């Protein structure tokens, strides 16, 4: 492109088979099917991309040094990597993965947002989203129709709801990780806030959210500086062990508040249940139990009989909070 390019069509389909390059804005506005078979910005980054259509099929890689926005009520098909060099990337409409996809905004910011509850994500492939200092928001469910092969999200603040995958399920926020809808977890699920380890980062469960294990799951892994279980949210672990690593500078406090600690209130404790064991590890400071009632059936957190599980284990065979 030697200048900004805008393509407008009505209900007819638009198919661009070749590559698109040039340091200018690329805009497509259509009510029909838009198919972009070639790469965009691979030889020379495009300034920005905006595609609004009845449906969108992105068949190649996309690289820009500015924002990208894709909107299609009829669905968006992704099969290759997308990179915006620190600018925002947004999708509005149901997403289908037909190949492994990595979406990145690089190191200097830029958010990735799947906008609205209709922006679901399905397809038995891998999805990675990396934003570094930018945020990631998944408004729609992931894997409800077709579970993903695996998902890896890493960014500053992350908000995500229900996720279903066959493999690894890693949500790693440098700051806050917010779970917005009830979901199941497996042994390959890692819920991480404060991934950068600076002692600031909260795992937030919104009101009404419940975490429950899939059948046969042995443990739930949480890493965070703090835990905020809002409203009537709950962790119902059943026969799986709950393992919590705290990066808070003053350790962990149960049943009260202490400055600089991971504080799990008595009310929050009443909404956490496990029949298999509960393990706490303070990476900084110590663990304080402040409550008028007994919280655990035992208080020794040493290696247990579940030797194949990673790291440390609670010695308790059964604990009920």
What is the per-residue pLDDT across 132-143, written as a single tens digit (0 to 9) for each?
A: 999 999 999 999
Residue-level pLDDT at 286: 67
DSSP-derived 3-state class of residue 269:
helix
DSSP-derived 3-state class of residue 267:
helix
Q: What are the backbone dihedrals phi and psi of residue 160, each rounded to the nearest 5 degrees, phi first?
A: -150, 150
How many residues appear in the chain?
Answer: 321
Residue-level pLDDT at 105: 95
Query: What whole-number distance in Å separates Cα of residue 101 and Cα of residue 118?
Result: 20
What is the per-residue pLDDT across 20-60, written as a single tens digit (0 to 9) for each? Answer: 999 999 999 999 999 999 999 999 889 999 999 999 999 99
73 or 317, which is more confident?
A: 73
| Cβ within 8 Å of residue 88, ≥6 positions away | 67, 68, 69, 105, 110, 111, 112, 113, 134
* Average predicted confidence (pLDDT) for the chain: 87
Query: What whole-number distance in Å separates Cα of residue 152 and Cα of residue 295?
Result: 34
Position 1 confidence tier, pLDDT thresholds 50, 70, 90: low
| Cβ within 8 Å of residue 274, ≥6 positions away | 235, 237, 238, 240, 241, 242, 319, 320, 321
Position 289 confidence tier, pLDDT thresholds 50, 70, 90: low
Rounded percentage of the chain residues whose pLDDT exceeds 70: 88
How large is the average pLDDT for residues 72-97? 97
Residue-level pLDDT at 28: 96
Query: What whole-number distance in Å separates Cα of residue 281 and Cα of residue 290?
Result: 16
| Cβ within 8 Å of residue 222, ≥6 positions away | 191, 192, 203, 242, 243, 244, 245
Lowest mean pLDDT among 5-9, 92-96, 314-318: 314-318
Contact by Cβ (8 Å): 254, 290: yes
Q: What are the backbone dihedrals phi and psi of residue 293, each rounded to the nearest 5 degrees, phi first?
A: -130, 160
Concatenating the DSSP letter of every residue in 100-157 gives -EEEE--TT---EEE-STT--EE-SSEEEEE-TTS-EEE-S-BSSSS-BSEEEEEESS
> Taking the domains of the chain in order of start, what are their residue ranges?
9-116+135-140+156-166, 174-321
| Cβ within 8 Å of residue 294, ≥6 positions away | none
Longest Cα–Cα distance of the chain, Å, equals 73
Query: What whole-number distance in Å separates Cα of residue 248 and Cα of residue 282?
Result: 8
Q: What are the CB-based long-range contacts (under 8 Å, 24+) for 18-22?
A: 19/43, 19/60, 20/46, 21/46, 22/46
How large is the average pLDDT for residues 153-159? 97
Of the chain, the end-to-end C-alpha distance in Å amounts to: 63
What is the per-residue pLDDT across 97-150, written as a single tens digit (0 to 9) for each? Answer: 999 999 999 777 899 999 999 999 999 999 999 999 999 999 999 999 999 999
| Cβ within 8 Å of residue 308, ≥6 positions away | none
Four-point Cα dihedral 78, 150, 225, 320, nearest 10: 140
* Residue burial 287-308, b: 16+ Cβ < 10 Å; e: rest: bbeeeeeebbeeeebeebeeee
207, with CB counted inside 10 A (0-12, 13-18, 19+), is exposed
Q: Is the pLDDT of residue 267 over 50?
A: yes
């Amino acid at each position: 492109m030697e200048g900004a390019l805008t393509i407008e069509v009505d209900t007819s389909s638009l198919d661009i088979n070749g590559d698109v390059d040039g340091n200018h804005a690329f805009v497509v506005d259509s009510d029909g099917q838009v198919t972009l078979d070639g790469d965009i910005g691979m030889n020379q980054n495009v300034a920005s991309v905006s595609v609004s259509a009845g449906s969108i099929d992105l068949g190649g890689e996309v690289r820009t040094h500015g924002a990208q926005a894709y909107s299609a009520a009829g669905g968006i098909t992704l099969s290759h990597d997308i990179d915006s060099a620190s600018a925002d990337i947004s999708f509005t409409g149901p997403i289908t993965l037909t190949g492994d996809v990595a979406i990145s905004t690089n190191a200097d910011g830029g958010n990735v947002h799947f906008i609205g509850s209709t922006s679901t994500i399905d397809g038995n492939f891998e999805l990675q989203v990396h934003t570094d200092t930018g945020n990631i928001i998944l408004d729609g469910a992931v894997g409800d129709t077709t579970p993903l092969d695996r998902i890896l999200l890493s960014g500053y603040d992350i908000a995500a709801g229900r996720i279903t995958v066959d493999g690894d399920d890693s949500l790693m926020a440098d700051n806050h990780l917010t779970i917005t809808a009830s979901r199941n977890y497996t042994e390959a699920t890692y819920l991480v806030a404060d991934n950068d380890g600076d002692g600031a980062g909260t795992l937030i469960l919104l009101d009404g959210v419940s975490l429950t294990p899939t059948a046969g799951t042995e443990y739930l892994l949480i890493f965070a500086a703090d835990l905020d279980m809002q409203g009537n949210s709950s962790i119902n672990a059943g026969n799986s062990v709950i393992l919590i690593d705290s990066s808070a500078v003053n350790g962990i406090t149960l049943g009260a508040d202490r400055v600089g600690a991971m504080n799990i209130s008595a009310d929050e404790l009443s909404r956490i249940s496990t029949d298999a064991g509960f393990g706490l590890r303070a990476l900084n400071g110590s663990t304080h139990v402040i409550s008028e009632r007994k919280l655990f059936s035992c208080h020794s957190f040493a290696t247990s009989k579940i030797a194949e599980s990673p790291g440390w284990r609670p010695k308790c065979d059964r604990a009920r909070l």
